[in-house]
Structure 1
């Protein structure tokens, strides 16, 4: 199930360019799950591989999530047609909003599992991501494109700054704080609205966007965590990635190259979140 682009929807600019666009969470998580499947922890505390496998399974659940089904109808035998229309629209809204919320819960479990394996003494996942970002400051090729832009966009949805001096670490901390609000029943549940002609209109566009970008933020957090671990030889990756659809791979100088065959999984980690497409016209 893909995110519906309804009127009034929030669409960040990094999801729309003809090349180097950021993939939707359902595609992004599939590629990250594939990467983790071809990797293994090689340095860690006793039981690290079991922890890795458990975190991978949570990531696999997020990858397997396709749709959420709701039926918000409340038929008391005397509902007017407008009430029925309201429930139909609300049902569609809840299916889209909750799809991201459920995926977010799985991704948080996966992220926290990988943090426990790679940074067992980190008090918060955001702190582990902050360490990873700082380690990669001099390795621009390992930093996922759009990561800062996603963090900045999330700041428009979650204005309260929460922890972390690095953008992805801050974004991850904000996402976890907002997820805690939902877990404890403090999140606002969006409802449809009516215009002057009493036509029922979908709402909750900001909430849907926040959920979608929150999922992306946690996925990017896992990528940074893995990138730093690979640099430290704490995680090993095997084989090569075959790029069935091809991918435009950026480089640190602002250019890039079109790859339509194979590339090492270690290099693929930095670009797996980018949508495939036609190569740019040269």
Structure 2
């Protein structure tokens, strides 16, 4: 008998809020890609324009990612039923984990591309994010909602979390990139299901899945902060159009509350809230 065993699933509170919740990565990247499609780099020549377009294409690749298929079965001609259950659960686990890991690689490539174009004097993407944080320190209303909470949660998964006092967006992006590097160099552990004494197969790997998901989200939020700073400095222009909100969205208001928007809002304002989950107004 196979059980997916929900205990241990890591769902940070910012993903389960009744309003202003952070959207799933597949929805987040779709809205971010749409925003970049309506924006352009202002300064620079053909090289910078080509770099911007290439970074956008990496976002499109991440936006196009829907599913991954794994078959972890190992048919040796004599596998028992429990062995088949184990491999079926393992296949599902790998599909979810690797979907987030592949997306992480794509959005990392996009971040590095945008950073090279917008802050060519910064050697590493995290350094560009640090520069953007400094630039936007007096414009906190333009920061993506939940960005600090996402970074703080990602830090809780770090092996050396007891020694991590810095929870800046730049540090979170650096950690997210490290998550990708660890896997690329074969240093990340591969999770597998757990077989208990009752012959039930329990899904595991909740930490690994959460790390990959939140690392991908951290990089996307880092891109948003990078673009917000560049737009503030006049390096990025957005088309003078409105974003049509098909399903409506709760967004923060100027007095610390929230308001419901169910029609249109300028793309220039949408950058800070594009990652929020659509919702329904209170009756």
- In 1, the alpha carbon distance for the partners of 2:61 and 2:208 equals 22
Q: Counterparts of 2:87 and 2:96 in 1: how far apart (Å)?
A: 14
Any conservation in 2 of the 1:246–1:277 contact (CA below 8 Å)?
Answer: yes
Is 44-53 or 14-23 further displaced after alignment?
A: 44-53
User: How far apart are the structure 1 equivalents of 2:196 and 2:57?
Assistant: 45
The corresponding residue for 1:236 is 237
Correspondence list, 1:120-135, <5 A: 120-135=120-135
Count the aligned residue pairs: 278
Aligned residue runs from structure 1 range 41-120, under 5 A: 41-44=41-44, 46-120=46-120
User: TM-score, normalised to structure 1's length?
Assistant: 0.94
Q: Which residue of 1 aligns with 2:258?
A: 256
C-alpha change, 1:169 and 1:259, in structure 2 (3 Å) is same
1:204 corresponds to: 205
Residues 93 and 204, structure 1, Cα contact 8 Å, conserved in 2: yes
1:170 and 2:154 equivalent?
Answer: no
Q: Distance in 2 between matches of 1:100 and 1:185?
A: 17
Structure 2 length normalisation: TM-score? 0.94
Cα RMSD between the aligned structures? Answer: 1.8
User: Is residue 2:12 matched to residue 1:7?
Assistant: no
Quote the Cα distance in structure 1 between the aligned partners of 2:151 and 2:212.
13
Q: Which moved more, 1:265-274 or 1:39-48?
A: 39-48
Name the CA distance, whole Å, in 1 between partners of 2:5 and 2:47: 44
Contact 2:179 2:212 in 1 (8 A): no
Moved more, 193-202 or 55-64: 193-202
Which consecutive unaligned segments of at least 5 residues does structure 2 have?
none
Deviates more, 1:215-224 or 1:194-203: 194-203
3-state SS of paired residue (1:258): strand
Question: Shift in Å at residue 251 of structure 1?
Answer: 2.5
Indicate the residue corresponding to 1:184 in structure 2: 185
In 2: Cα distance, 1:230 partner to 1:44 partner: 15
